[in-house]
C-alpha cells in the first residue's frame, strides 16, 4: 500500500518567517511527487512536481521552493512567508506513468498571520 506522511498537520506562522513542510512516502520507489495548494473554497493549484531525486518542476512563480533530497522525501520551503501563502498544502504521489491516480497525504493547514 502507498502511505504518505505530511507534517505538521497545522501551522501558524508570522509574515516574513521561513517555512519547511515535509512529505515522506512509503511503499513504493521512484514515485512522481507533487505539492498542491488549496485556498479556502477553491480548487487545487499545482505548485511543484518531481519525477526523481533533485528533479523539480515549478508550475507557478512565487516565493516557494521545493526540494527532493531523497527518493521518498519531498520538501516545500519558503524563506519569507506572505499572507497569501496561507492555505491547505497537499502532498501527493503517483506510482507508474500514464493512467494512474494520485494518492494524497492528509495535508498541512498553514495560516500566515
Partner 1 sequence: SQQGEEDPQALSIQEGENATMNCSYKTSINNLQWYRQNSGRGLVHLILIRSNEREKHSGRLRVTLDTSKKSSSLLITASRAADTASYFCATDAKGNNRLAFGKGNQVVVIP
Instruction: Catalog residues that contact partner 1 under the rule CB under 8 A.
Output: 4, 32, 34, 36, 42-46, 49, 51, 57, 59, 88, 90, 92, 94, 97-99, 101-107, 109
CB of 12 to partner 1, least distance (A): 15
Q: Looking at beta carbons only, is 28 or 104 nearer to partner 1?
A: 104
CB 58 within 8 A of CB 46: no
Contacts of 86 (CB under 8 A, 6+ apart): 39, 110, 111, 112
CB of 21 to partner 1, least distance (A): 14
Q: Looking at beta carbons only, is 18 or 96 nearer to partner 1?
A: 96
CB 90 within 8 A of CB 80: no
CA separation for the pair 27, 108 (Å, rounded): 21
CB of 112 to partner 1, least distance (A): 18
Amino acid at each position: 500500500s502507498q502511505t504518505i506522511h505530511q507534517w505538521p498537520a497545522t501551522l501558524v506562522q508570522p509574515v516574513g518567517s521561513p517555512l519547511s513542510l515535509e512529505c515522506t512516502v512509503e511503499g513504493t520507489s521512484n514515485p512522481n511527487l507533487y505539492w498542491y495548494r488549496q485556498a479556502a473554497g477553491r480548487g487545487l493549484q499545482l505548485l511543484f512536481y518531481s519525477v526523481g531525486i533533485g528533479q523539480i518542476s515549478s508550475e507557478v512563480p512565487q516565493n516557494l521552493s521545493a526540494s527532493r533530497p531523497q527518493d521518498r522525501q519531498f520538501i516545500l520551503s519558503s524563506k519569507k512567508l506572505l499572507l497569501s501563502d496561507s492555505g491547505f498544502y497537499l502532498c501527493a504521489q503517483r506510482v507508474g506513468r500514464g493512467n494512474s491516480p494520485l494518492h494524497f497525504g492528509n495535508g498541512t493547514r498553514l495560516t500566515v498571520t
